[in-house]
Structure 1
Amino acid sequence: MGSIYEKALGDAFLNLHPRIRQRFGFNSQDQIASIGYGMMDHIWYSKWVTLPLYVGTKRHIMFPQGGTNIPFMIENFAYVDQFGRETVTWNRQFKFPNKIRRFDATMIYSEERERIVDYLGNKQHLAVDLAISVEPNGGIRIRSRDQRFYEGWLQFPFPRLFTGIADVCEWYDDSEERYKISVAVNNPLIGSVFRYQGTFQTQFVNMKSSVIPLDIKPLREERRE
């Protein structure tokens, strides 16, 4: 069994840089985790979206804070969720001088949608379809598509005019021997709303899925994709 990213990319997965394949190629049966440490050179947000970003901090979905040279950690664990879906965590911490900000997500491969779905936040309120491709430098590019909100009986698709459309690129720089990442979130009406870029290195550690730290998994798992 391959990873959810290998399933999404098919044969194109082999065109990724070997170090990117390593980071995106494991699943729950491999019993390893990818823990990255590094520095975000630049984090920026638009003052026009301060309020919604502030609300997002309560659910670990982005945040209204910027700066330079911000220590960064990313934790990728693979496990099978309560609905039997292969799941990968994307828990990010940004250590600002006065506060630690979190941006958490979990990704699954949806057989129904035939693509990866990204659940944003610690309660999986927002489900986002992802388009994944391989860049010429062997990096991986992840772009958000349709988004849906779930909260109890309430569910609705987000109109694109009111969403943040994410464009994420991650690649490996052989000359610096580091992973590099660039994230840009834009809105069709007001343009750029949030972005960051930086570098990190990764450790691959043995980790049985049964002993994944509780604070890694979301507080609630959502069945609807």
Structure 2
Amino acid sequence: MTRSPYELSTPPDVLARLHPRLSTYFGAIPPGHVGRGEGVFDVVGTPRRWLWPVLAWFARDAVMFPVWERDVPFTVENRPARVGRGPAVQEGRVAVRAHRTFRFRSGTRTMVDAITAGPDGLVDHLGRRGRVSALLRAEVDAHGPDAGALRLVSTRVSFRALGREVRLPSRIAPRVTLVERFDDDADQQRVSLVLSAPLVGTLYRYEGAFRYEIAPDTGRG
């Protein structure tokens, strides 16, 4: 894998504004290596318990979880992969598959997703089966408080059912906003994800900090 999905789908002038320490996270993972990080999420989930039955359904496919917890230890593991539909996955698009493992008080749970470079930009396939997908717009500010941070904002959300891809109308589609930035003072990468919906507001979120490195792949995972 010579170029990452981010490098394949994001204009070079946008990536050039990234904080130098983020280039490791969003660059290509060399053959025989894996990206690993460890840190703590300040918050995970939602305090709106009426949403938990819906989140429990998504939890079955490792997308989101019916929780509201603070100070949650977690690890992230990024591996190069291929993502496609049907049996010919080996012919799919270049991707990075991420496993984020949360150590909740109730037990360990793992969130799975795969980022790939699609014809229209970055696409995040959520869950083990990738039934829900979000088209993402990448932004990097050159100035201001978030200078050098990568912000990914969903512009389209779709789901796969009965072999068909169905796009949700923008008036009802949830919106994903993910911000990854580097904190020089703490020498850590900080991440914030917010899932919101029209009229309802925030449905789910997590935010925290971690340290990340590219290491030789021992074959685990």
TM range (shorter): 0.7 to 0.9
- Write the distance in 2 (CA, Å) between the matches of 1:158 and 1:102: 26
**Residue 127 of structure 2 corresponds to residue 121 of structure 1:** yes
Q: Which residue of 159, 163, 167 corresponds with 2:169?
A: 159
**Residue 64 of structure 2 corresponds to residue 51 of structure 1:** no
- In angstroms, what is the RMSD of aligned CA positions? 1.9
Normalized against structure 2, the TM-score is what?
0.86
- Write the distance in 2 (CA, Å) between the matches of 1:31 and 1:131: 30
Instruction: Give the structure 2 partner of residue 188 of structure 1.
Output: 198
Instruction: Give the structure 1 partner of residue 87 of structure 2.
Output: none
- Write the distance in 1 (CA, Å) between the matches of 2:17 and 2:32: 24
Instruction: Give the structure 2 partner of residue 206 of structure 1.
Output: 216
**Residue 93 of structure 2 corresponds to residue 85 of structure 1:** yes
Equivalent residue pairs, number:
208
User: What is the identity, as a one-letter code, of the residue corresponding to 1:80?
Assistant: R
- Write the distance in 1 (CA, Å) between the matches of 2:17 and 2:100: 26
The 3 A distance-change label for structure 1 pair 47 and 162 is: farther
Q: Is the 1:161–1:189 Cα contact (8 Å) retained in structure 2?
A: no
**Residue 140 of structure 2 corresponds to residue 134 of structure 1:** yes
How far 1:154 sits from its partner (Å)? 4.1
Q: Which runs of 5+ in 2 are unaligned?
A: 84-89
How far 1:162 sits from its partner (Å)? 4.0
Identity of aligned residues (%): 25
Q: Is the 1:108–1:116 Cα contact (8 Å) retained in structure 2?
A: yes
Q: Which residue of 98, 109, 115 corresponds with 2:106?
A: 98
Q: Which runs of 5+ in 1 are unaligned?
A: 214-225
- Write the distance in 2 (CA, Å) between the matches of 1:160 and 1:48: 23
- Write the distance in 1 (CA, Å) between the matches of 2:205 and 2:61: 19
The 3 A distance-change label for structure 1 pair 129 and 105 is: same
User: What is the identity, as a one-letter code, of the residue corresponding to 1:163?
Assistant: A
**Residue 66 of structure 2 corresponds to residue 60 of structure 1:** no
